[in-house]
Amino acid sequence: MKKQLLIAAVAATMTSVAMADISISGAAKVNYTHVDNDGSVNDSDTFKQEMDLKIAGKSGDTSVTMNFGGMDSSSETNNDAVSTFNLEDAYVATSIEGVNVKVGQWDNGNNELRASSRTSGKFAASTTVSGVTVTYEAGNAADDTVKVAGDVAGVALSFKDVKTGEDISVSTTVGGVSLSYLALNRDEANTDRSVATVSSSFGGVDVKYAQANAESGACISGDTWMGDFEHTTYTCSTTDNTNAYYLNKDQDVAAISLKTSMAGNTVEFRNIEIDGTAGDDTSINKFIVTRALANGATFEATYADVNDDGAATDNSSLDLELAVKF
């Protein structure tokens, strides 16, 4: 009898776990990078790995999400440093009388003009009325913001009021050509940033062009296809020329991408031109080949050539990446 009760208890436990609305997803990638420096600077060979794990649970209209991430720190200061696995996002989302509520910590996402940021103790509430979505955000260490977004005759518009200025976004598609404009306007003098993007497809080739501008008191620090301009130890200044991707104040960026399919591969060419002051210009050319493998992983090879007038040396690099999502 005791054995039957034990079996029944175990079966009940297994049933509850199986019926729970819980999902687990994630991604992992490993990179080998060889950098060939001109002049007296030594070449380098680096191995890195990055892994992410997302756990989401749901009960009715309420969900709990936790994102864990681990990134190798060898590209920063210490090649022997041990990477850590950290809790990055953790939030509860629900709907109350037509109002979507989100509480916790989460990443606000990258764009062409600024790097992402993450803080704890955040609160967001949004609702949609007649096609217009109004979002209010606040937090323990953040200023209150109000964002209004909607669609007018096929044009997506958004206006976000922040303590130090406003963010304005406009996007639409005309005749198969996608157009977008983003402006981060700030009250402090000479600190506005803006970017305009045009993209389309011609004869099987995807073409994308962007022009980003920063005033004399601002730096572009986004992490997008235009270039990885964010860095954990870099502060926007007028004097740091140690790396092509550490943009100084008043440096503008123009970038073009050409992408197509070839023999089962995705092949892309990118040209990034950084226009700085006092001859501090940079030209970056990238060739990227991506292929989906039969084992479920993706292989990507990236060759980059950097010609930086303001840096001590130019360089070229080859990055080999193996990535998988689950």
pLDDT category, 75, cuts 50, 70, 90? Answer: very low
Of the ranges 7-16, 233-242, 299-308, which is most confident? 299-308
What's the pLDDT score for residue 143? 83
pLDDT category, 17, cuts 50, 70, 90? Answer: very low
Per the prediction, the chain carries an average pLDDT of 86
What's the pLDDT score for residue 278? 63
Per residue in 254-295, pLDDT (tens digit) is 999 999 999 999 999 999 999 876 667 889 999 999 999 999
Domain layout of the chain by residue ranges: 24-325
Share of the chain above pLDDT 90, in %: 60
> pTM, whole model, 2 decimals?
0.84
Average confidence (pLDDT) over 137-158: 93
- Homologous superfamily of 24-325: Porin (2.40.160.10)
pLDDT category, 10, cuts 50, 70, 90? Answer: very low
Per residue in 150-182, pLDDT (tens digit) is 999 999 999 999 999 999 999 999 999 999 999
Per residue in 208-255, pLDDT (tens digit) is 999 999 999 998 988 888 888 876 566 777 666 556 577 888 889 999
Share of the chain above pLDDT 70, in %: 83
Per residue in 175-208, pLDDT (tens digit) is 999 999 999 999 999 999 999 999 999 999 999 9
What's the pLDDT score for residue 78? 52
What's the pLDDT score for residue 281? 82
Task: Considering only CA atoms, give the Rg of the chain.
Answer: 23
